């Protein structure tokens, strides 16, 4: 496996307070260590990603579609090894430490303010249960000033058809239809007091630059969203 990753600069963005976010795509390889084709090389790819971004550590963990946001501690994520805990988001006040989530249709959301960043994994269950609101609460406690967000590539309204259970959980009125996860994320972030929201737009289901669980099922790898303080 090549140790040089293909990273698209169009999928990076500054965050308020001096942070940055980068979203990877299929070209950077499967970053999962547990799911999808090529996951045996996931740790090596995470290490290569950390080197490419100039990070001394990369904090990611098992994701369970919950609402827990882990706060990175000094020494965690050295060598980019997965943390042995369940969390659907990570926050950091430590310069040079990346916080990461993995997605394959779910919504990756980066948050930033003065002195802190967070990266959140939001599927429909997490959105319904308040994972974005919890991320904003944690970041507000860690940092200062206005909070901004960047919403990354995810399943788009063009392709993401869901049933009545999902629509009802998110307060949507149709019993069945195409769900706009990005619009839901924007609404939740705005209601939580986020001051500005930017997008790196792409539908992971129909844009084959990205892994998609809906399209590829068990073979799907995972792309990453990484936020850090420089």
Contacts of 187 by beta carbon, 8 Å cutoff, 6+ apart: none
- What pLDDT score was predicted for residue 2? 39
Candidates 200, 223, 147, 216; CA nearest to 13 is 200
- What pLDDT score was predicted for residue 230? 83
Domain ranges, ordered by start, for the chain: 9-229
Instruction: Compute φ and ψ for 158, nearest 5 degrees.
Output: -65, -25
In the chain the beta strands, taken as DSSP E runs, fall at 12-15, 19-23, 57-59, 61-62, 70-71, 83-86, 89-92, 97-103, 107-114, 116-122, 144-151, 161-162, 177-178, 196-199, 223-229
How confident is the model over 195-227, as pLDDT tens digits? 999 999 999 999 999 999 999 999 999 999 999
Contacts of 69 by beta carbon, 8 Å cutoff, 6+ apart: 87, 88, 89, 90, 91, 118, 120, 131, 134, 135, 138
Range 9-229 classified under CATH 1.10.1200.10: no
Report how far residue 212's alpha carbon sits from residue 205's, in angstroms, rounded to the nearest whole number. 5
Host H or E run for residue 153: none
Report how far residue 21's alpha carbon sits from residue 98's, in angstroms, rounded to the nearest whole number. 9
Mean pLDDT calculated for residue range 146-161: 97
- What pLDDT score was predicted for residue 1? 39
CA distances for 147 relative to 18, 113, 117, 131, 197, angstroms: 12, 5, 9, 16, 9
- pLDDT tier for residue 174 given thresholds of 50, 70 and 90: confident
- What pLDDT score was predicted for residue 61? 98
How confident is the model over 5-45, as pLDDT tens digits? 677 877 999 999 999 999 999 999 999 999 999 999 999 99
- What pLDDT score was predicted for residue 4? 53
Helix and strand numbers, DSSP H then E, in the chain: 6, 15
């Amino acid at each position: 496996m090549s140790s040089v990753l293909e990273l698209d600069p169009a999928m990076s963005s500054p965050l308020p307070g001096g942070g940055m976010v980068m979203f990877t795509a299929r070209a950077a390889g499967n970053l999962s260590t547990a799911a999808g084709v090529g996951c045996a090389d996931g740790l090596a790819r995470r290490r290569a990603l950390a080197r490419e971004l100039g990070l001394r550590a990369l904090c990611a963990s098992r994701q369970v579609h919950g609402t827990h946001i882990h706060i990175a501690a000094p020494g965690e994520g050295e060598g980019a090894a997965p943390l042995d805990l369940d969390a659907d988001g990570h926050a950091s006040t430590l310069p040079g430490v990346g916080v990461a989530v993995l997605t394959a249709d779910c919504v990756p959301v980066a948050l930033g303010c003065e002195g802190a960043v967070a990266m959140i994994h939001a599927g429909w269950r997490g959105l319904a249960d308040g994972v974005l609101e919890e991320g904003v609460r944690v970041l507000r406690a860690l940092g200062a000033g206005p909070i901004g967000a960047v919403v990354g590539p995810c399943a788009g309204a063009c392709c993401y058809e869901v049933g009545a259970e999902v629509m009802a959980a998110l307060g949507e009125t149709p019993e069945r239809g195409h769900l706009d996860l990005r619009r839901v994320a924007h609404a939740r972030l705005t209601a939580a007091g986020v001051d500005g929201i930017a997008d790196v737009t792409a539908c992971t289901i129909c844009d084959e630059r990205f892994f998609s669980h809906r399209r590829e099922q068990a073979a799907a790898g995972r792309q990453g969203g990484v936020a850090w303080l420089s």
